[in-house]
Every structure is written in structure tokens, then in C-alpha cells.
């Protein structure tokens, strides 16, 4: 069911609520009853059929009036349960209090005490499963979707700061003379770079690709996270004195032991993410027209293959695309296929909508844009034509059984239910594993059977003076969880270097 509401209607309603709010505040402070009576401010979005063919951002962001109204829904709970759900412990009630007064710069400064990437986190973090799931307002309504829109407000105040030229680089204390290598410029790596640099250490970030930002650049589409926002955050680190070396694949261009032993780095952090795609291992998966979601999205996001007049990366033209998977990456790939010209896009998922791990908002946006969902089905064979190209899928039907270890009901195959559907491309979005390159080229660096680097509670690895965090340790997770790992590791690195000094 579509949740789209025209921006003009939302803005008009917000202006009315804003006037009522101002009148109440002019007479007395808001009571908890007043705050809970304020309606949730919906996020304006582009018109579905139009945006489905454009790369521009789908969610348009709050107006000033919407932000102030929404921030005043916060009850300012003394025990701040929302902070419990934040992996980097943002002081949420404090920043909401300032936003509710229209003090947006003060609000974002409070966020940046623990999170230097609020414009990014406000867009892509699953707040409904983290901070907002603990919100007292949502619990009062017995509906998590009516919690205070913490993520949308985080995005607003960060955008306000950037768009009004109010960003300022944190002051750096005296140089310590210590050097730290950060491998990977994704959310974990950028967080470590910022926190270690703020302690006065020299920091160099090594990035395998030609652009900084990691998964935020190659994995998350422009229509969810504009690349200009990632670039602005990277530029802020550069102003702080962080050096970036792109096109440097640690393990090939140079190894981790060489950085530490020959280049004089005193410590290193591995934040290379989980970029090894998983496949289904079914017949026909090597046909022309089968892509991992990683490759498909990287070609479009990082290499801009859709810009056929300028991009060197070829674009595989397909009219009827199928996507296997039910997570956020599957939603991104399906919605990207529409923007690359597909006439129809179908997501095939072996459970039901209720078990899908993707964010509710992303599922709703995909449906609004015309993506078709086939639940309780899964590919068992990719069908090809005489030229070796994908021409269809053989699917097997499922029914739900007892819950498995994830808590979701296990899909059970229905015997004899095979059936075929036509398509000319298949995108496999079943998650990612860890690239073994770092482990293979660093003797003594321990990893588990899945390739995740082993660390202690502080993020230390088995290799001396080396820490790790993010997806290379957790497996495929979220931006904010990776940042939380980065903050923990950076604090440990800073303690280590202080003691060494």
C-alpha cells in the first residue's frame, strides 16, 4: 500500500501545527500531554512514478517547521531510553531539545560529540530497529512507527549545517608524532580516522577504489544517499589533516606488515568491510545476465554506468529483471534496475513480507515505484537461451514452518511446485562474506571460519598494533554499527599510543 503524500500537503499541515505550537509555547512550557498530542511529521518524498526513473534523492527532508514540530514530540525522558539503542550513544534528548527551539547548529554540534557522520546516518541507519525502537512515545502508542523521528531530525540538522556553510573542522591538539594507517574509507574507517586525528596523531587512509567512502559510495544508491554528502564528510576529514591514498589495495599494492615495519606506522586499523558476494550455487548462475548485487550497484553508483555518454563502464541492458533476496541491498538493486531502464522488476523472496530484513520504508518505496514482489518462492535454476543469456528463472514454492535461529519462520519447500517465469537478468542479493585478502597477506592475523577477523573487546586483532572493526569483523551490518566498532577501536588505539609515548 502506498504511503506517498504530496509534499505541498505535508508542508501546509506542518505550518498549521507550527503556529499552534508557537502559541502554546508563548503561554507555558509544553506538558507531556501536549507533546504526545503533536502528530508525527511524515517525510515528504518525490512522486513515485517520476522518481523511479531518476537518480535524485527520493526522501526530500523536513522543512524548518516540520523539524521544530517533530522535535517537540520528544518527552525528554530522564533515563533517555533512546540512547540505549544507539551504537555510538548520541545524546539524543539533548539534540532534540535544541532542534525543538530552532537551534539547529547547536543540535548538530551535540550529535557530533559522538557521531561525525549525521547526514549519512540520518539517511541510511535503521533507526526503527535502534534508537526509535526504545522511544517512549512509540511505546505509549504501542506502535514503533509513531516514535519520535530521530533519524529524520538528525538528517535535517546535519543538512542545515552543511547548506548554510556552518560546518567547521574540530580543533586538533599538538601533533604527537605518531602515525596511524586506516585501511578502508567506509564508515568504520572514517570514524577511526576522525577520532584518532582528534587525538593529534597523523592519519593516512588507504582506499582500494578511486573514490573515498567505501560502501557509502559504491553500495548505497544516489537516490538514497547523494554522493555529494559523502564527499563533504570526507573533505571535512581532509581539513582536519587526514591524508587519503586512493587506488591502494592493501594486500596487493602493499601489505599490512610493510606499512607497519617499513613505512613507520605505529598502529593500523582494518575496516575493509564485507565485499565478497554470496551466490546461490544453482544451475545456470554463470549465464550472461547474472550479477551479484555488489557488481550491479558498483557499476551504477561508483562508475555511473547509466551515464552512457561519459561512463567507461558498460551497462547491461535488461527489460525484465529479477532480484533474489529480501534485504536493503535487494531493495536498492531492484529500484536501481528501474532507473537503468527496466520495464519490470520482480523481487523473489522465500519468506513473506513480515520476515523481510529490509527496512519497512525501503520496501514501501520499492512498492510505490512499481517493484513486484513474489513471496514464498526461490530460484532453483537460471534458464538460458541458445546464446548463453538469461531468459528465465525456475522457481520453487515454499511455506513457512517453525522459527529458525534468526527467530523468523523457516521456509519449507513445497515438493513438486517448480514453475518458470521469464526474465532477462538476475541480480543475486543474498549478502556478502569477507574478502580473505587481508588475512592471506598478513601472517599471524587470525580470522574465523567465515573469514571475519578476530578481535578482542577493544577491537584488537592477533597482529601486534593492529585493530579491526565494521563488517570485516561483524559480517554485513549497518553503517552505524560499523561506526560504533570504529569508535571503540579508535579509543583503544589512542590509549595504546598515549602509553607508548
Averaged pLDDT of the chain: 94
pLDDT of residue 2: 55
pLDDT of residue 307: 84
pLDDT of residue 306: 83
> Is the pLDDT reported for residue 121 higher than 50?
yes
DSSP state of 355: G
Q: What is the mean pLDDT of residues 284-305?
A: 94
d(CA 259, CA 267): 9
Q: What is the mean pLDDT of residues 28-43?
A: 94
This prediction's pTM: 0.93
CA dihedral 436, 439, 442, 443 (to 10 degrees): -130
Which of 159-168, 247-256, 318-327, 473-482 is least confident?
473-482
pLDDT of residue 433: 87
pLDDT of residue 191: 95
Model pLDDT for residues 384-402, shown as the tens digit of each residue: 999 999 999 999 999 999 9
Return the percentage of the chain with pLDDT > 70, whole number.
99
> Is the pLDDT reported for residue 144 higher than 90?
no
- Paired residues of 389 in beta bridges: 288
Q: Return the closest-CA partner of residue 135 out of 63, 25, 36.
A: 36
Which of 60-69, 150-159, 478-487 is least confident?
478-487
d(CA 131, CA 89): 9
User: 482, 469 in Cβ contact below 8 A?
Assistant: yes
Q: Return the closest-CA partner of residue 259 out of 327, 300, 312, 205.
A: 205
d(CA 150, CA 71): 8
User: 219, 330 in Cβ contact below 8 A?
Assistant: no
**Alpha carbon separation from 341 to 54, 201, 318, 336, 347 (Å, rounded):** 10, 48, 8, 9, 16
> CA angle 209-211-214, nearest 5°?
70
Q: What is the mean pLDDT of residues 420-447?
A: 94
DSSP state of 165: T
Domains of the chain: 7-163 (1.10.1060.10), 179-275+433-500 (3.50.50.60), 279-430 (3.50.50.60)
pLDDT of residue 404: 87
pLDDT of residue 171: 85
Query: Pairing between strand 179-183 and 202-206?
Result: parallel
Place of cell 531510553: 81
Look at phi and psi of residue 434 and say left if phi exceeds 0, alpha if psi is from -120 to 50, else beta: beta
d(CA 281, CA 292): 12
Which of 176-180, 387-391, 402-406 is least confident?
402-406
> Is the pLDDT reported for residue 1 higher than 50?
no
pLDDT of residue 424: 97
What is the pLDDT confidence band of residue 312, given thresholds at 50, 70 and 90?
Answer: confident
Return the percentage of the chain with pLDDT > 90, whole number.
86
Q: What is the mean pLDDT of residues 287-291?
A: 98
Q: What is the mean pLDDT of residues 332-341?
A: 97
| Burial class of residue 36, CB neighbours in 10 A (0-12, 13-18, 19+) | middle
**Alpha carbon separation from 175 to 178, 264, 497 (Å, rounded):** 8, 16, 12
Q: Return the closest-CA partner of residue 411 out of 449, 366, 379.
A: 379
Amino acid at each position: 500500500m502506498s504511503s506517498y503524500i504530496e509534499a505541498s500537503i505535508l508542508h501546509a499541515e506542518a505550518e498549521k501545527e507550527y503556529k499552534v505550537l508557537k502559541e502554546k509555547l508563548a503561554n507555558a512550557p509544553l506538558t507531556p500531554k501536549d507533546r504526545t498530542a503533536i502528530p508525527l511529521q511524515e517525510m515528504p518524498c518525490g512522486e513515485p512514478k517520476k522518481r523511479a526513473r531518476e537518480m535524485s534523492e527520493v526522501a526530500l527532508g523536513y522543512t524548518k517547521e516540520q523539524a521544530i514540530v517533530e522535535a517537540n514530540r520528544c518527552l525528554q525522558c530522564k533515563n533517555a531510553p533512546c540512547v540505549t539503542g544507539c551504537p555510538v550513544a548520541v545524546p539524543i534528548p539533548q539534540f532534540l531539545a535544541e532542534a525543538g527551539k530552532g537551534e539547529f547548529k547547536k543540535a548538530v554540534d551535540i550529535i557530533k560529540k559522538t557521531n561525525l557522520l549525521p547526514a549519512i546516518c540520518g539517511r541510511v541507519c535503521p533507526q526503527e530497529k535502534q534508537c526509535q525502537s526504545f522511544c517512549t512515545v512509540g511505546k505509549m502508542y504501542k506502535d514503533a512507527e509513531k516514535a519520535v523521528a530521530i533519524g529524520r531530525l538528525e538528517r535535517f540538522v546535519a543538512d542545515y549545517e552543511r547548506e548554510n556553510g556552518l560546518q567547521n573542522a574540530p580543533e586538533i591538539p599538538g601533533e604527537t608524532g605518531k602515525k596511524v594507517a586506516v585501511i578502508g574509507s567506509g564508515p568504520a574507517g572514517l570514524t577511526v580516522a576522525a577520532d584518532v586525528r582528534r587525538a593529534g596523531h597523523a592519519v593516512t587512509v588507504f582506499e582500494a577504489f578511486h573514490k573515498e567512502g567505501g560502501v557509502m559510495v559504491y553500495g548505497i544508491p544516489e537516490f538514497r544517499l547523494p554522493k555529494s554528502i559523502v564527499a563533504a564528510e570526507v573533505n571535512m576529514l581532509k581539513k582536519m589533516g587526514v591524508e587519503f591514498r586512493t587506488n591502494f589495495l592493501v594486500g596487493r599494492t602493499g601489505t599490512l606488515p610493510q606499512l607497519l615495519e617499513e613505512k613507520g606506522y605505529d598502529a593500523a586499523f582494518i575496516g575493509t568491510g564485507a565485499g565478497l558476494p554470496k551466490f546461490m550455487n544453482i544451475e545456470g548462475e554463470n549465464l550472461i545476465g547474472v550479477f551479484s548485487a555488489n557488481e550491479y550497484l558498483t557499476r551504477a553508483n561508483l562508475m555511473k554506468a547509466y551515464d552512457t555518454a561519459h561512463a567507461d563502464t558498460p551497462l547491461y541492458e535488461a527489460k525484465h529483471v529479477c532480484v533474489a533476496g529480501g534485504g536493503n541491498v535487494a531493495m536498492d538493486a531492484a529500484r536501481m534496475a528501474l532507473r537503468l531502464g527496466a520495464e519490470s522488476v520482480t523481487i523473489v523472496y522465500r519468506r513473506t513480507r513480515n520476515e523481510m530484513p529490509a527496512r519497512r520504508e525501503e520496501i514501501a518505496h520499492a512498492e510505490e515505484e512499481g517493484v513486484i514482489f513474489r513471496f514464498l518462492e526461490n530460484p532453483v535454476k537460471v534458464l538460458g537461451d541458445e546464446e548463453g543469456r538469461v531468459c528465465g528463472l525456475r522457481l520453487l514454492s515454499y511455506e513457512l514452518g517453525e522459527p529458525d535461529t534468526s527467530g523468523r519462520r523457516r521456509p519449507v519447500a513445497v515438493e513438486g511446485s517448480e514453475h518458470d517465469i521469464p526474465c532477462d537478468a538476475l541480480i543475486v542479493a543474498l549478502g556478502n562474506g569477507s574478502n580473505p585478502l587481508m588475512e592471506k597477506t598478513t601472517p599471524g592475523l587470525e580470522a574465523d571460519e567465515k573469514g571475519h577477523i578476530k578481535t578482542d573487546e577493544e577491537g584488537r586483532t592477533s597482529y601486534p598494533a593492529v585493530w579491526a572493526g565494521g563488517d570485516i569483523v561483524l559480517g554485513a551490518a549497518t553503517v552505524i554499527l560499523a561506526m560504533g566498532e570504529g569508535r571503540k577501536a579508535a579509543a583503544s588505539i589512542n590509549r595504546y599510543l598515549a602509553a607508548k609515548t
